[in-house]
Chain A
Amino acid sequence: MEHTSGLERALRGVALALIVVFFLFPILWIFLMSFQTNEEILRIPPSPFFTPTLGNYAALISGKLTTVSGTLDIAFMRNLWNSVLLSTASVAIALVLGVPAAYAFARFKFRLGEDIAFTLLSFRFAPPLLVLLPLSLYFQQLGLTDTYAGLIWVYQLIALPLILWIVRGYFEDISPDIEHAYRVAGHSWWSTFTRIAVPLAGPGIAAAGLLAFIFCWNNFVFALILASADKQPVTVGALAFVTASGIQYGQIAAAIVLSVTPTLALALYAQRYLVEGLSLGAVKG
């Protein structure tokens, strides 16, 4: 570690604080907004002082949105549940398919292997809207429109290439001889994969899974076009807050807080594995 003077450390602290404030302020502000009424939010000048209310959260949870012009039904909790279901299932399936595939691409040099891997990645190049038109036609014919299965399938376009390419890199970094040493000691190919390769690539798999989850969670267009209200995730459901009698900022803020929570919780949980993996020391060998 280099020697750092006190001044240097103080300056570094200030710089860090500035960055933290810059990035976290919007989130903090939204958090505060979620406890205010629409009138409090819209008053001029804005003030950080208010009497907190749980009304926004109550409205979301009960599904009754009260505006000046009457009461509206919203399906926020259902949307949230859809988001959790769609993202979790999509990432789980993408992991089950993608991790072994990534291993195969990393370890076995087969004909067209590189081409197949690249084709999978190329799904990410096409703008989603371009894919959507033909896809929605197919989905109508296959009867997959407005089903969870259909959405999860489409979400593989997001999650699978991501997992495949990130995890493949991690597998390639593991010296094949570590696996060879295990195999020659009397273990099958499969148990070498599950007992040696997967644990060593663990941090990479956690990172890829987390990233894929966030991408799925934040997806908007696929669900907007391919699903109807009761299958839609929060990203689409949030449109309901733009009502005839104005935009419900308080509820939107509360909705944002609620919908960020699962991703945040997952990130904090996965972080443990990320750090644990790194502290086990060099994997390359």
Chain B
Amino acid sequence: MSQVALSIQGVDKIYRRRGRPPVHAVRTLDMQVGSGEIVALLGSSGCGKTSTLRMIAGFEDVTSGSITLAGRRIDRLEPASRGVTMAFEGYSLYPPLTVRDNIAFALKSARLPAREVDKTVEDMARLVDIEPILDRYPSSISGGQQQRASLARALARRADLYLLDEPMGQLEPQLRAILRGRLKNLLVERGMTSIFVTHDQTEANALADRIAVMEGGILQQFADPKTLRERPANLFVATFVGEPPMNVFAATVAVGDRVSFAVDDGPVFSFSSNELPLDVRDAIGGRKRATIGVRPHAVRLGAGPNEARVVSNQWLGDQSHLAMDVAGKLMVAVSHARIAARSGDLVAFRVGAADLHIFDSDTGAAVSHGLAPACG
């Protein structure tokens, strides 16, 4: 990571409302974002993503902790002097102004010459494809157009940090894919440090240098997309990131000559000491129980010690999704070859040691990923 632009240290947010129990929306959040880095904030609804952005922008006080941006402590500053811009979840265009003036008002307050303002507005409008509606009022354009106008407004101004709260949530996949590319170009070209919230993992993977996964107000893991996929820090990240989600089973562990995981009322996955290296065995330690996981893409079909009955088999045009009944749960396998199995058929499969994820059965923290123990 290059120079640190944004540093969030031990930030908590507790909403207190009279007569209602307090809501602990963000818990001891620590996060460092490098200069020019693009970060995606991923997590289920209500996990504290918007709260985090609002604290950075200054619309909500931090309950405790500190935020530093571009070398300045900003968590007590007015929003106006923090040097951030934000695109809002609810668009929040100013109704009495046209789309053009909405995009321009941020630039005008920065006292830029009129010609430069016009040019920037046109550029941003072109970027998000709203040139034809520049002179319309927000009440007379569609939700998706409002969203794009709001995104253009947030991008138009120069800032130390760009906060984009679900900037493309309302758009159809085709347009989203196009805008994603243009947005990425813009952000990279100008080295714009940015944090964007999204529910779309493809978008997160395509745009972000690193992805922050949040749940229950807690930052679960903050890493690049590849690490998230291959070395999820805990069970939540493992099952939340990736499509279809990771298959996980509670199992009883037996460590002897071979290491075996007996899924409750189900198959046994067993590995020789050649397959599972010593440090993975060490990481497992004296555990009697563990949660094991395997990604759908890593389930090898057609051969191997285990068998399961097919529940459904879908060909999606470029891949097969095979759902099998394993220990009363569904286990999904994805194959790029077309698989002939029909529901009811028995299919043989195996899970390689290199594809095995092991998690602590109580805390859900990762124990090992494939052939290496999880660090930390």
Q: A175-B90, A280-B139 are in contact. Are A183 and B80 (CB under 8 A)?
A: yes
Q: A175-B90, A281-B139 are in contact. Are A183 and B95 (CB under 8 A)?
A: no
B91: interface (CB < 8 Å):
yes
A interface, how many residues as a size bin?
20 to 34
Contacts of B17 in A (CB 8 A): 109
Residues facing B in A166-200 (CB within 8 A) are 175-178, 180-189, 196, 199-200
Interface-forming stretch among B105-113, B277-285, B360-368?
B105-113
- Of B57, B88, B109, which is within 8 A of A186 by CB? B109
Q: A184-B84, A187-B80 are in contact. Are A285 and B92 (CB under 8 A)?
A: yes
Let me know if B138 and A285 touch, CB within 8 A: yes
Let me know if B79 and A281 touch, CB within 8 A: no
Contacts of B315 in A (CB 8 A): none
A182–B106 Cα distance when bound, in Å, is 7
Contacts of B110 in A (CB 8 A): 186
Q: Which residue of chain A is the closest to B58 with respect to CB atoms? A: A184
A114–B80 Cα distance when bound, in Å, is 29
A260: interface (CB < 8 Å):
no
A137: interface (CB < 8 Å):
no
Report B320 CB to chain A, min CB distance, Å: 45
Q: A185-B105, A186-B106, A188-B78 are in contact. Are A180 and B95 (CB under 8 A)?
A: no
1/0 contact string of B1-36 vs chain A (CB within 8 Å): 000000000000000011000000000000000000
Contacts of B86 in A (CB 8 A): 180-181, 184
B85: interface (CB < 8 Å):
yes
Q: Which residue of chain A is the closest to B17 with respect to CB atoms? A: A109
Contacts of B90 in A (CB 8 A): 175, 177, 285
Contacts of B105 in A (CB 8 A): 182, 185
Contacts of B95 in A (CB 8 A): 178, 200, 280-283, 285
Q: Which residue of chain A is the closest to B139 with respect to CB atoms? A: A281
B94: interface (CB < 8 Å):
yes
A217–B157 Cα distance when bound, in Å, is 50
Contacts of B78 in A (CB 8 A): 183, 188-189
Residues facing A in B120-172 (CB within 8 A) are 137-140, 150, 153, 157
Contacts of A196 in B (CB 8 A): 94
Interface residues of A, dominant DSSP: helix
Q: Which residue of chain A is the closest to B109 with respect to CB atoms? A: A186
Q: A281-B139, A281-B140 are in contact. Are A184 and B82 (CB under 8 A)?
A: yes
Report A275 CB to chain B, min CB distance, Å: 14
Contacts of A186 in B (CB 8 A): 80-81, 106, 109-110
B317: interface (CB < 8 Å):
no
Contacts of A114 in B (CB 8 A): 18
B93: interface (CB < 8 Å):
yes
A28–B94 Cα distance when bound, in Å, is 45
A177–B139 Cα distance when bound, in Å, is 16
Residues facing A in B262-281 (CB within 8 A) are none
Contacts of B94 in A (CB 8 A): 178, 181-182, 196
Let me know if B93 and A285 touch, CB within 8 A: yes
Report B90 CB to chain A, min CB distance, Å: 6
Contacts of A176 in B (CB 8 A): 59
Contacts of B18 in A (CB 8 A): 109, 114
Q: A188-B80, A199-B96 are in contact. Are A282 and B85 (CB under 8 A)?
A: no
Report A1 CB to chain B, min CB distance, Å: 19
Residues facing B in A195-215 (CB within 8 A) are 196, 199-200
Q: A187-B109, A285-B95 are in contact. Are A180 and B140 (CB under 8 A)?
A: no
Q: A280-B96, A280-B139 are in contact. Are A180 and B59 (CB under 8 A)?
A: yes
Let me know if A178 and B92 touch, CB within 8 A: yes
Contacts of A181 in B (CB 8 A): 86, 88, 92-94, 150, 153
Q: Which residue of chain A is the closest to B80 with respect to CB atoms? A: A186
Contacts of B96 in A (CB 8 A): 199-200, 280
The 10 closest A-B pairs by CB, nearest first: A281-B139, A185-B106, A177-B92, A183-B79, A177-B88, A184-B79, A178-B92, A186-B109, A186-B80, A181-B92
Listed by A's residue number, 8 A-B pairs whose Cβ atoms lie within 8 Å are A177-B92, A178-B94, A180-B79, A180-B88, A181-B94, A183-B78, A186-B106, A281-B95
User: What 5 new A-B contacts, CB under 8 Å, besides A281-B95, A281-B140?
Assistant: A177-B59, A180-B59, A181-B153, A280-B96, A280-B139
